[in-house]
Structure 1
Amino acid sequence: MLEYIMRNITLKQLRALAAVIDTGTVTAAARQLNVTPPAVTMQVQLLEEQLGLPLLDRAGERFQPSDAGREVLAAVARIERALADCGASLDAMKGLDAGRVCVGIVSTAKYFAPNALGVFARSHPGIDVALVVGNREEIIAALRGDVIDVAIMGRPPLDIEVDKTLLGPHPHVMIAPTDHPLLGRRITPDRLAGLTFLVREPGSGTRTLMERYFQDAGVEPRIGMEIGSNETIKQAVMAGLGLSFISAHTIAAEVADGRLAVLDVEGMPVVRQWFVVKRSAKRLTPPAAALNEFLANRGSEFLPRPIAPSSALIPAGG
């Protein structure tokens, strides 16, 4: 029954509800839509009557969405994205190099992906490229909800049907401060037991890969801090607060400048791969398809060079 009703509600009703939720008041929503407050009230009331559920709750002087309102609001967001995509496709059919594409990248990819996106944007000045950065779980959620068109990530999701294209290798290494006593030695994983590690938050692909490495090695790492930023982790390692398992693509500048060192640990680097990923069922607009093709063909050019373990700073037997 509700499925039939949903087919008969109007975009005007949905936008009125979204505007009230966005602004918090009917008056502000009316200004946003360039209509009168009674018109907004009428559209929302009609929508509630059709659905048979309250869509707004009052919190003081402002409105907020009910549980049903949040569901409808999510649908409105998908509809607006679909309309925007349609507009971009129609623009392309007119021969316009215009439109918008939204790219999601895991936080580790921000050390090379912006360079690739910059080259694409300069080649297509009429296309607006938006960037969403998050950990692996956040980017997968954005893919699932069609918030983004394509993603750059290390391990494609298993619970969503996706099309993936290999970009290139993604090595992970163990970093230490430049005066660490284990530098210049070949280290077995058991030598790391009892040392303090600074790790990414749960949900991070780097954290998952680190846990798998230590589990396979039979080593229980001592977790000193959970830190949600690679930049903060690097600063903490420089300060001598611990070691860290991290993407080699995040530390090239610090190693080159002598601010961080890479330990020579057996079984490292742990190499995974970078992929460009899109949801299989998502029909890409011409701008998004162009970017997807650009990353598939040229994305590997922007990957940082491999990093070798740091040279010995103390005698190997010392």
Structure 2
Amino acid sequence: MNYTLHQLHIFLKIAELKSITKASEALHLTQPAVSIQLKNFQDQFQISLTEVVGRQLYITDFGMEIAHAAEKILNQVHAINYKTLAYKGQLSGRLKLSVVSTGKYVMPYFLSDFMKQNEGIDLFMDVTNKSRVIESLEMNEVDFALVSVLPKKLKFHKVELMQNKLYFIASSGLKLKQNLTKKNLFEKFPLIYREQGSATRNAMETFITKNGFSVTKKIELTSNEAVKQAVLAGLGCSVMPLIGIRNELKNKELQIVPVKGLPINTIWHLIWLKSKNLSPVALAYLDFLNSEKATIINQKFAWGEDFYLK
């Protein structure tokens, strides 16, 4: 046999996600490239690793055995690399995080200097929806999770990172009457929502219910970026985190519409399970956050003060 570590990595991801398409997205590879590597890997075995029933990909029992073996091999490769770095006196290991989708505008700034200071650390950051973030934390798949709404059913420790402010946003091309009431604003224009379970959507729906508004037309999209593009295109208005629209505000492509009761204020928290035995890398990262958090907020996020409406 002549399989490569790259093929093992790809097959393990396919086995985890039960999908070539999802595996290619997770690995940032094209779908044809993943399919070719899977075929080349399969050709080295006389027993099928996968099977397709209908349009669904399944991993055979033999394939699952190979996936478990691949995981062990890859873990040993990581261990060799980390031990080499540790012998040289460098902090080494993997730091794994799961981040809600709007957190992609926040988390990289709290990681950049730490990663530069510790070149022996590999970073894994999964940007996904809130349900998956909580699931990955609960299943002990990650060290930390970044959330703006704290889970109620888990026992966890937390570090407060920074404020998350949500405003009513419209395209700058939308001309609003000066005497337009809050009720008219929400009921006249199509409102663009995030998907069910999104913390942003929950905050928006709570605000609408609290004020007794009735929304005449809804548009539902599955990512913050998609909502932003829809607002830019003039499809409707939305309630969005300020953190994700900096450039659009600066370029005057979007406008913040003053609404009494807004912004909605939440807090970004980095959380981890109380039962989690944190690795030296994870502990070092917590030390870094505690010492550098204020500096990072001041240097990277002070721009937000220019847009905060009283």
Q: Same fold (TM over 0.5)?
A: yes
3-state SS in 1 of match to 2:228: helix
Give the corresponding residue for 1:103.
97
Give the corresponding residue for 2:127.
133
Provide, for residues 30-87 of structure 1, a one-character-per-residue CA deviation record: whole Å limited to 9, x for no partner.
Answer: 95xxxxx69xx8xxxxxxxxxxxxxx99658xx94479x98x9999999899989988
Return the offset for 1:129: 1.3
3-state SS in 2 of match to 1:295: helix
Gaps of 5+ in 2: 1-7, 16-36
Go from structure 1 to structure 2 and tell me whether the alpha carbon gap of 1:77 and 1:102 turns closer, same or farther (over 3 Å shift).
farther
8 Å contact from structure 2 (residues 191, 236) kept in 1: yes
Does 1:247 find its partner at 2:246? Answer: no
Give the corresponding residue for 1:168.
162
Equivalent of 2:186 in 183, 187, 192: 192
Aligned Cα root-mean-square deviation (Å): 3.7
8 Å contact from structure 2 (residues 167, 262) kept in 1: yes
Which amino acid in 1 is paired with 2:308?
A: A
Give the corresponding residue for 1:47.
none
Equivalent of 1:211 in 205, 212, 215: 205
- Give every structure 1 segment of 4 or more consecutive aligned residues whose post-TM-superposition deviation is greater than 4 Å: 21-25, 27-31, 56-60, 72-94, 183-187
Give the corresponding residue for 2:19.
none
3-state SS in 1 of match to 2:111: helix
Distance in 2, matches of 1:270 and 1:162, equals: 24
Equivalent of 1:115 in 109, 131, 142: 109
Which amino acid in 1 is paired with 2:124?
A: A
Q: Percent identity?
A: 25
8 Å contact from structure 1 (residues 88, 285) kept in 2: no
Distance in 2, matches of 1:187 and 1:76, equals: 63
Moved more, 277-286 or 189-198: 189-198
Distance in 2, matches of 1:219 and 1:129, equals: 44
Distance in 2, matches of 1:141 and 1:88, equals: 29
3-state SS in 2 of match to 1:305: helix
Go from structure 1 to structure 2 and tell me whether the alpha carbon gap of 1:124 and 1:214 turns closer, same or farther (over 3 Å shift).
same
Return the offset for 1:296: 4.2
Give the number of aligned pairs. Answer: 269
Gaps of 5+ in 1: 1-14, 32-36, 42-55, 311-318
Which amino acid in 2 is paired with 1:294?
A: F
Distance in 2, matches of 1:262 and 1:283, equals: 44
Go from structure 1 to structure 2 and tell me whether the alpha carbon gap of 1:185 and 1:296 turns closer, same or farther (over 3 Å shift).
farther
Return the offset for 1:122: 0.9
3-state SS in 1 of match to 2:277: coil
Go from structure 1 to structure 2 and tell me whether the alpha carbon gap of 1:297 and 1:228 turns closer, same or farther (over 3 Å shift).
farther
Moved more, 299-308 or 206-215: 299-308
Return the offset for 1:260: 0.2
| Greater Cα radius of gyration, structure 1 or 2 | 1
Return the offset for 1:239: 1.9
Give the corresponding residue for 1:308.
308
